[in-house]
Amino acid sequence: MKDYEITIGIECHVQLATRTKLFSEVDNDAREKEPNSCVSPVDYALPGMLPRLNKEAVKMAVIAGHALNSEINLISRFDRKHYYYPDLPKGYQISQLYQPIIGAGYVKLPDGTKVRIEHAHMEEDAGKLSHFAGYSLVDLNRAGTPLIEIVSMPDIHSAAHARDYCKELWRIMTYAGVCFGDLYNGNMRFDVNISLAKPGEPLGTRAEIKNLNSFRSVERAVEYEYKRQSKLLDKDEKVVQETRGWSDDTGETTSQRSKEEAQDYRYMPEPDIPPIHLTKEFVEEQKAKMPKLPEDYREQFKGQIADDTLEILLDYQPLMGKLDELARGDALRGPAGPEPQASGSDGRDSAAGPRASIVKRVANWFASVLLAEEKSAEYLNDLPSAKQLDDLAEMTEKSELSSTGAKEVFLKFFDPQMRNRDAREIAKELNVLQENDAGALEKIVDEVLSDPACAKAVEDYKAGSEKVLGFLVGQVMKASKGKANPAAVQPILKKKLSK
Amino acid sequence: MEITREEIDHLAQLSNFSLEDAEANALGKDLNQIISYISQLDELDTEGVEPTYQVFEMENVWRDDEIKTQEADREALLALAPEQQEHQIKVPKVL
């Protein structure tokens, strides 16, 4: 097999998290609802029905556009895209072909690669079809759900980057609060265009893999297409421009229909929806609502949290919000506590800031303790307070807890019986507080050293065997029932033995 | 501009119509008349004129994002479909 360069462009459909549909005043959240129970005469396309635009959908589109680093087009319009299929009773989809609301922008991938956004437009979703022997059933609950379709430039050149791009879009849209991000229920769907070329030669014919709904299937579909197309090109055969479907079960793409056949959407201006004319103030008002995005957190925590740990945590916006709260530190220690240093927006400052070690500690607990647990998703619904986490990190820093003890307490924050208690209270209950008090430790050390069972070790140490120190520390730990802080025990032992 | 039989077949295919020869011929005649009538507009010079989306000069006709109870309920709407099954609209198999 020869080497080919792969070029990928991705179209992503994002369902907006509005209460009602794009053009009708019915419930937009059809999860666990009966078929056709969230449907209005507008969605049925009954004669004489007038669609009315949902203002909230426009606001969300503006926010989404801003999150994509895009220009917002102050004037945008809707167009009719005609196709005949039972999932769309009107016989056309209301979309934006000529003047979309969101202009050119870009998405930055975790490794810094930029993928340019060509544009993004608003449109309505279609209904859902289920196929049976000899007939199909139509559920129109989803018909009319507001979508934005984000169209990337062909800037992606590997399966891994295709996956990263889709995942980053998912993060951005969910962080921005414009999409619920439930991939299983089709909140985001990806169409992936793939073509190959020999190095230096113009792009080959592309195939489009439609309707992928997981990052993994995007990656696998690209890998499969690379193999399929390169085999054809090796044999000097042609790649057909067509739409292909992906099966997670077989791990293959299959031809659905050839594009040459009849893709003629007969676009025309939508006369029912007057144009959208936004003011700059309206756009700025939406921008002001933008919460921190993944890229903001990357900058903020650069150097504080290891890159790979951060990428794991970035999948969970509530966790990042919690770390942000910890990093800011305000209102955690109360008025009597030490003055917290501002560390919010500028990553470089906060990397060296006094909150950095607290943030790092808590980040590592989340990544290595919580997310390693099977029940992580369930845990994430009810995170401990920043105060609880801050106290725990503080106690650990002061060696009041061993790292093992701290993890035990941390897990109890998610225990329904204990979740509202202070870190110290839980530590006491678990009996994991370390003894640091020099006086108390000296007493235990004296006991151990005077124990006849340790006489030999003491003798060996004095004869120059440093190794036995570990054994003696162990004896002290045992005598303290595990509560002594070994780091504090060692110097005391050394001091006493050198007398 | 004469509309060809080929174009009629293409349009029929896009709309999922199957047409008898007689129907296609009749439609062709009608369409040709409509198009020739509309073609009078070609006499105008529209160079540099913005396409007209609508004639009322309205913009931002939008509504708040509030759920309203619909007068036509699910059963009433489903009753309009030629066939239904399990609260869904039943259609011939499509792929």
Q: Is the pLDDT of residue B37 over 80?
A: yes
CB contact under 8 A, A53 and B63: yes
Please check whether residue B78 is in contact with residue A37, taking contact to mean a CB–CB distance below 8 angstroms. no
Which B residues 12-31 touch A at CB under 8 Å? 13-16
Paired tokens of A56: 């909230």
Please check whether residue A72 is in contact with residue A276, taking contact to mean a CB–CB distance below 8 angstroms. no
Angle ∠(A66,A71,A76) on CA atoms, nearest 5? 105
Query: What residue type is assigned to position A188 of the chain?
Result: M
Q: In which residue ranges of chain A is pLDDT below 50?
A: 259, 335-352
CB contact under 8 A, A36 and B87: yes
- CA-to-CA distance for A209 and A227, rounded, in angstroms? 14
Architecture of domain B1-43: Orthogonal Bundle (1.10)
Q: Please name the helix (run of DSSP H) or strand (run of DSSP E) that holds residue A388, with its range, or none.
A: helix A386-397
B88 touches chain A (CB under 8 A): yes
Phi, psi of B10 (to 5 degrees): -65, -45
Fold entry, domain A438-497: Arc Repressor Mutant, subunit A (1.10.10)
pLDDT at residue A374, as a whole number = 65
Residue with token string 């920043």: A386
Task: Name every chain A residue with its beta carbon within 8 A of the beta carbon of B67.
Answer: 19-20, 25-27
Burial of A55 (0-12, 13-18, 19+ CB in 10 A): middle
Per DSSP, the residues of A204-261 read: ---EEEEEE-SHHHHHHHHHHHHHHHHHHHHTTPPPP-EEEEEETTTTEEEEEEETTT
What is the distance of C-alpha A339 from the center of its chain?
32
Long-range contacts of A470-473 (CB under 8 A, 24+ apart): A472/A448
HSE of A185 in the Cβ direction (CA atoms, 13 Å)? 14
Task: Name every chain A residue with its beta carbon within 8 A of the beta carbon of B14.
Answer: 82-84, 262, 264, 266
B74 touches chain A (CB under 8 A): yes
For A454-474, give one letter per residue: b (16+ CB within 10 A) or e.
Answer: beebbebbeeeeeebbeebbe
- CA-to-CA distance for A403 and A121, rounded, in angstroms? 51
- CA-to-CA distance for A333 and A343, rounded, in angstroms? 16
Q: Please name the helix (run of DSSP H) or strand (run of DSSP E) that holds residue A490, with its range, or none.
A: helix A486-497
pLDDT at residue A3, as a whole number = 87
pLDDT at residue A347, as a whole number = 40
CB contact under 8 A, B95 and A131: yes
Which B residues 47-66 touch A at CB under 8 Å? 51-54, 56, 58-66
Beta strands in A4-113 (DSSP E): 5-15, 53-54, 75-76, 79-82, 92-95, 105-108
Numbered ranges of CATH 1.10.10.410 in chain A: 438-497
- Enumerate the domain spans of chain B: 1-43
pLDDT at residue A460, as a whole number = 86
pLDDT at residue A257, as a whole number = 67
pLDDT at residue A375, as a whole number = 64
